[in-house]
């Protein structure tokens, strides 16, 4: 008996997450423009910069 036959309509949590991520990503791209992605990328970069600086300060102590 194949795994697909045995499960019939059931989906694993991993499969559901992957499918939701694909749909969600497309939906976000449709509703938000390029500026949205640029802004969140910039915010993420600033956060990383700040964390690196904090880490260096703690090393000096």
Prediction pTM value: 0.51
Mark 11-26 as b/e (b = at least 16 C-beta within 10 Å). Answer: eeeeeeeeeeeeeeee
pLDDT digits (tens, 9 = 90+) for 7-49: 567 888 888 878 777 777 778 888 888 899 899 999 999 999 9
Question: How many of the other CB atoms lie within 10 Å of CB of 51?
Answer: 10
């Amino acid at each position: 008996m194949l795994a697909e036959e045995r499960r019939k309509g059931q989906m694993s949590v991993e499969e559901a997450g992957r499918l939701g991520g694909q749909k969600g990503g497309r939906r976000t791209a449709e509703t938000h423009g390029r500026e949205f992605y640029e802004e969140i990328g910039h915010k993420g970069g600033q956060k990383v910069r700040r964390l690196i600086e904090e880490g260096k300060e703690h090393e000096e102590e």
